[in-house]
Structure 1
Amino acid sequence: MLQNWTETLANNRKAGEALGKHNPQLLTAFRALNQAQGATGTLDAKTRELIALAVAVTTRCDGCIAAHADAARKAGVTEAELSEALATAIALNAGAAYVYSLRAMDALSAGQA
């Protein structure tokens, strides 16, 4: 195991208490945002968690991975389903690197007529 994800999730929740103590409105708004996602019922919980994990990987958020892996497990996500979602995240990151490489090339040549 690369990391103790259960511990990461618990540590983040405990650390969040201090932030909530000093910024209760921020914490309330953050919780409301998380509760609001999926409120329409258009996507099922499994699909939302697969998307959340793919986004968590692309944004490199360990806390997000811990929280959404826990929720994905509860929603019944399989390793095969997660693997396919993560393949999309990997491809997207490669695509983003390609597009930003084009931007870097453009920036280097800027001003050269």
Structure 2
Amino acid sequence: MLDWNTYRRQLIAGVGEIGKLSPETVKGYATLSGAGARTAHLDAKTRELIALAVAISLRCDGCITVHAAEAKKHGASEGELAEALGTAISVNAGAALVYSTRAHEAFKEA
């Protein structure tokens, strides 16, 4: 099992190193990452739960460790986490079903 706290610290250090090599890239990412917070339509907890659901869909461990910590920091409960992850699971299953129709169509046309 992954030690998520150690991994998160390593990831942050690694991003810092990339920032020294390519500061504009990391600056651009930080700008993009913070843009949603400026609209104030969703609270921070909700944004972090959405980010976690997306992280599951993208299979990004770095995103998972960062957004899990941020969701917890912003007061997300395990029940809210479970609901967000359940949504990710259902969307991924739905996407698999939708893309299955594409594979079936390609197969029929081959």
The TM-score, its normalising length taken from structure 2, stands at: 0.94
The aligned counterpart of 2:99 is 100
* CA distance in structure 1 between the partners assigned to 2:97 and 2:7 by the alignment: 32
Q: Secondary structure of the residue that 1:76 maps to in structure 2?
A: coil
RMSD: 1.1
**2:10 counterpart of 1:11:** yes
* CA distance in structure 2 between the partners assigned to 1:59 and 1:17 by the alignment: 22
**2:51 counterpart of 1:58:** no
* CA distance in structure 2 between the partners assigned to 1:44 and 1:102 by the alignment: 37
- The answer for unaligned runs of 5 or more in structure 1 is none
The aligned counterpart of 1:20 is 19
Q: Which AA in structure 2 matches 1:91?
A: S
The aligned counterpart of 2:42 is 43
The aligned counterpart of 2:33 is 34
Q: Secondary structure of the residue that 2:37 maps to in structure 1?
A: coil
* CA distance in structure 1 between the partners assigned to 2:43 and 2:105 by the alignment: 42
What are the Cα deviations for residues 55-102 of structure 1, in whole angstroms up to 9, with x where unaligned? 100110000000001110110000001101111100011001111111
- The answer for unaligned runs of 5 or more in structure 2 is none
The aligned counterpart of 1:76 is 75
Q: Which AA in structure 1 matches 2:39?
A: T
Q: Among the aligned pairs, what percent are the same residue? A: 47
- Deviation >4 Å, runs of 4+: none
Could you say which structure has the larger radius of gyration?
Answer: 1
Q: Which AA in structure 1 matches 2:84?
A: A
The TM-score, its normalising length taken from structure 1, stands at: 0.92
* CA distance in structure 2 between the partners assigned to 1:5 and 1:37 by the alignment: 25
* CA distance in structure 1 between the partners assigned to 2:64 and 2:85 by the alignment: 12
Q: Which structure shows the bigger proportion of residues in helix conformation? A: 2
Alignment: residue pair count? 110
What are the Cα deviations for residues 24-55 of structure 1, in whole angstroms up to 9, with x where unaligned? 10011111111222211110111111101111
